[in-house]
Amino acid sequence: MQVRFWGTRGSIAAPGPSTARFGGNTSCVEVRASDGTVIILDCGTGARELGLHLAQTMPQPIRLHLFIGHTHWDHIQGFPFFVPAFLPGSELNIYAPLGFQRGLEEAMAGQMEYSYFPVKMRDLRSRIHFTELDEGFFRVGGVLVETQFLNHTAPTIAYRMTSDGATIAYATDHEPFWNASGRVSQHPGDERHIAFLKGANLVIHDAQYTDAEYRDKVGWGHSSIDYAVDVALAAGVERLVLFHHDPAHDDAMMERMEAMARAHVGQRGQALDVLAAREGLELEVRGSSAAPDMAEASALQHRQIVGGRVLLVSANEPEVAEIEEVLNGDGLIFLRESDVRAALSRGPELTPDIAIIDRELLDGDSVLDVLRDRLGRRNFPIVVLADSSIPSDAVYRGEASWTDYLPKPFSPPMLRTRVRAWLARTLLVFDPVERVALRGERVTGPDDSRARCASLLATVPLFRPLTAEQRDLLLDSATEQSFTAGHVLIRESDPPDRLFVILSGRVRVLEVASDSPVELIVGELGVGEILGELSVLRNQPRSATVVAIERTHCLVIPQTEFLKVLQSSAELSVSLLRMLAGRLYETDRRLSRFAPDPVTGLAGRRAFHEQYRRLAAVARRRKTGALLLVVDVLKLRSINDRFGYGVGDDVLRTVADALVEATRTTDLIVRHGGDEFVVFFPDAGVGDIDTVIARVNETIKGLSGKRGIPVPITCNFGIAYALAPPESADDLLREADQDMLRRKR
């Protein structure tokens, strides 16, 4: 395989005379296999020059595979300037781990919003495919790829690529799992990392700091040159390339670090070729090793962690509160115990997926083995919050490879990343036949995922009357699915083949008005509720669209199996009737009080104030801030007098449609009065104000031209911002009206 470095820097680009030799662009490496497969490792600022080169040298249409370690900016900021993405017919396959609270596509597209960039992701002319990865194997062309989670402040993956007997490992951004003196591998995570690199012909490894610098940078997610050398020697690799250079290190410093790394190899008395990455450096990688044995776990099989059960064993209330706050955004279920004895006695009943235990409560680490025995899972992951007194023999006993140690006080991003990695490693997609762990190791017990699903299903009010046997019938064919915010679970006119049980998260139900293309918000559903039941019962296509408004975890039950259980259980039938009657009553109440505006199809004033209170409460809880926009259509009365009320209604519909098109599905849009519209933007900041107004104006102008409106549509705008939106919208509305007056003046 051929390797060329286009970007070698980490954190932020640092071009200039002092970095000319080793390079100032952020991470980007090109790998070419003998069969013509082209792999790009990360898409930092170095991707700009690479894209120009590929556009000039590769045959059209271009087909590329982009392997992104994680979605921090220094690894994706070159993508908006990557020429192949703009070429018609080009095919870009982008792979990366799932980011925090958002999907891969959303994370990549976020930096291309109008606030930051003039071209949106959806406007690119290439064909782009996004694939979210977990640990495991997959193939691109003739290259076998293995992935493994690294120790960074965000979910980050290393790539090991094998083709024609040659192996390249790419491991950046990463830091030691345990920062203690002595041998390099004092932690199971470091052992796994060494095993992942073992025997590679070339390892490109994070080496951002000197050993002295790293002592002040623990928890930042990057390695020292000594650690990079030590793991490469322990893994028996042939050549090590130091990578992800610190932006503060000039060429002279990089030469010293390269010399320091070679001296460290000399001190160890082993053979290892070491060099620091330079922009433009080209390497040919050859090998004669056999292809590695593939585990049954596929990196393309996405293991959702939403609904995972976390056993917290700590008597430290502030510590427990901090852990729950750190992990709260991942849709996990917390099971709290104040001592180990209670955890041992209740463990089988709680059926946790991972445990976090304060080591101060442990009477020796052998208690961890007892807990695993009680749970019937020798591969049960346990994160121990510990000081530097980690036992030297803890790593080398069989089960201890499933024991993780995190130093106290713990780094919140590191804790969250480690928990997510362990859950993704162990929570496989529900399969009623079997579950297979990494490296083909069969999971013990009847079926841990099935037991967890049964436990969750028993908490849903509708299914509480069912017997264990009846719940088993549902689980025989059920699957678990998770949906990111904005993902469509059900589309209008879809077949009625499934019923969804919401285990965590929230969804919004939308319908299209008969006299308008505008989608109306019919309602929202949350934890413990079901959706899609009416179509399933009537055996008719879906009548509404359902969109996740936050990360949502569902149990999906086939129509046929649900109907079988329904026919066999009078209790379930009565519960379902009660639920439907309640919804019917609520629908009648909403229709009478909150009938949509007959002209625009938007919600009206009453609906706005009720829905605002709910959305504002969410924004206050998340501390994300919110914007309120008031839009006043100018001279509507004159338009009605001159052209008639038909044209006036067309003007109102055009403004309404423009607001819908220019905003997100999670934003609240209403016709607040005769010529006034109001939009509430949760999760928006002051910096979005000008972008929002410009986008709305642009969309109004475009729709007006397409629809042949005989008069220019002009609007006044007023904006109000609140970091913690008040419970009532009245104050924000007054502030927005005052802002509108200021803008008029």
Which CATH number belongs to the domain containing residue 582 in this structure? Answer: 2.60.120.10
In a domain, 547, yes or no: yes
Is pLDDT above 90 for 259? Answer: yes
- Percent of the chain at pLDDT exceeding 90: 37
User: Could you read off the pLDDT of 674-703 as tens digits, one per residue?
Assistant: 889 999 998 888 888 888 888 889 999 999
Same domain, 344 and 233: no
Query: How far is it, in rounded angstroms, from Cα 631 to Cα 364?
Result: 66
Ramachandran angles phi, psi of 548, nearest 5°: -75, 130
Same domain, 662 and 538: no
Answer left, alpha or beta for residue 211, where phi above 0 means left and psi between -120 and 50 means alpha: alpha
Residue type, 2: Q
* CA angle, residues 378, 381, 385, in degrees to nearest 5: 130
Same domain, 201 and 336: no
Which pLDDT score, from 0 to 100, does residue 689 have? 82
Q: Write down the mean pLDDT value for the chain.
A: 84
672 contact partners, CB below 8 Å, separation of at least 6: 604, 605, 608, 630, 678
Query: Domains in the chain: how many in total?
Result: 4
Answer left, alpha or beta for residue 249, where phi above 0 means left and psi between -120 and 50 means alpha: beta
Mean pLDDT within 376-402: 67
Query: How far is it, in rounded angstroms, from Cα 430 to Cα 343?
Result: 26
Confidence of residue 434 (pLDDT cuts 50, 70, 90): very low
Same domain, 391 and 531: no
Edge to edge, the sheet with strand 309-313 lists 333-337, 309-313, 354-358, 382-386, 403-407
Q: Which of 602, 603, 585, 586 is nearest to 594 (CA)?
A: 603
The total of other beta-carbon atoms located within 10 Å of residue 314's CB is 20
578 contact partners, CB below 8 Å, separation of at least 6: none
DSSP label at residue 151: -
Distances from the Cα of 281 to the Cα of 25, 53, 208, 396, angstroms: 13, 15, 18, 39
Question: In CATH, what number is assigned to the domain containing residue 355?
Answer: 3.40.50.2300
Query: How far is it, in rounded angstroms, from Cα 523 to Cα 611?
Result: 10
Mean pLDDT within 186-208: 91
In a domain, 26, yes or no: yes
Distances from the Cα of 144 to the Cα of 1, 33, 164, 595, angstroms: 12, 11, 10, 57
Confidence of residue 592 (pLDDT cuts 50, 70, 90): low
User: Could you read off the pLDDT of 296-307 as tens digits, one per residue?
Assistant: 567 876 666 767
Which pLDDT score, from 0 to 100, does residue 439 have? 27
- Model pTM? 0.59
Same domain, 115 and 184: yes
Strands (E), 366-478: 382-386, 403-407
Is pLDDT above 90 for 662? Answer: no
Q: Per DSSP, what are the bridge partners of residue 205?
A: 171, 242
Q: Which of 57-61, 399-403, 434-438 bottoms out in mean pLDDT, i.e. has the lowest?
A: 434-438
Is pLDDT above 60 for 429? Answer: no
In a domain, 295, yes or no: no
Mean pLDDT within 397-402: 54
Contact indicator for 353, 333 with CB cutoff of 8 Å:
no
Question: In CATH, what number is assigned to the domain containing residue 162?
Answer: 3.60.15.10
Tokens at 335, concatenated: 């099971």
Same domain, 480 and 558: yes
Max mean pLDDT range (89-93, 101-105, 260-264, 380-384): 260-264
Q: Which of 593, 620, 635 is the last residue of a domain?
A: 593
Same domain, 580 and 626: no
DSSP label at residue 72: S
Which helix (H) or strand (E) covers residue 200, if one does? Answer: none
Q: Which of 368, 399, 427 is the last residue of a domain?
A: 427
Look-up of token digits 């970095």:
19
Question: In CATH, what number is assigned to the domain containing residue 718?
Answer: 3.30.70.270
Contact indicator for 306, 551 with CB cutoff of 8 Å:
yes
Q: Per DSSP, what are the bridge partners of residue 479?
A: 556
210 contact partners, CB below 8 Å, separation of at least 6: 224, 225, 257, 260
Contact indicator for 414, 356 with CB cutoff of 8 Å:
no
Same domain, 351 and 239: no
* CA angle, residues 106, 111, 117, in degrees to nearest 5: 130
Q: Which of 23-37, 294-308, 378-392, 634-648 bottoms out in mean pLDDT, i.e. has the lowest?
A: 294-308
Structural domain of 358: 309-427
Contact indicator for 26, 13 with CB cutoff of 8 Å:
yes
Mean pLDDT within 568-592: 77
In a domain, 631, yes or no: yes
| Cα 659 to chain centroid, rounded | 28
Confidence of residue 102 (pLDDT cuts 50, 70, 90): low
Query: How far is it, in rounded angstroms, from Cα 220 to Cα 215?
Result: 11
User: Could you read off the pLDDT of 483-511 as tens digits, one per residue?
Assistant: 877 788 898 888 999 999 888 778 888 87
Distances from the Cα of 306 to the Cα of 101, 252, 330, 436, 545, angstroms: 11, 48, 6, 19, 23
Same domain, 192 and 255: yes
Q: Which of 382, 300, 386, 304 is nearest to 347 (CA)?
A: 382
Same domain, 265 and 384: no
In a domain, 358, yes or no: yes
Q: Which of 376, 373, 563 is nearest to 451 (CA)?
A: 376
Helix (H, G, I), strand (E, B) or coil at 515: coil
Which pLDDT score, from 0 to 100, does residue 230 have? 93
In a domain, 460, yes or no: no
Confidence of residue 185 (pLDDT cuts 50, 70, 90): low
Tokens at 226, concatenated: 């000594």
Confidence of residue 427 (pLDDT cuts 50, 70, 90): low
**127-133 and 498-504 strand pairing:** unpaired
Is pLDDT above 60 for 432? Answer: no
In a domain, 699, yes or no: yes
Same domain, 400 and 545: no
Which pLDDT score, from 0 to 100, does residue 131 have? 87
Confidence of residue 135 (pLDDT cuts 50, 70, 90): confident
Same domain, 575 and 683: no
In a domain, 75, yes or no: yes
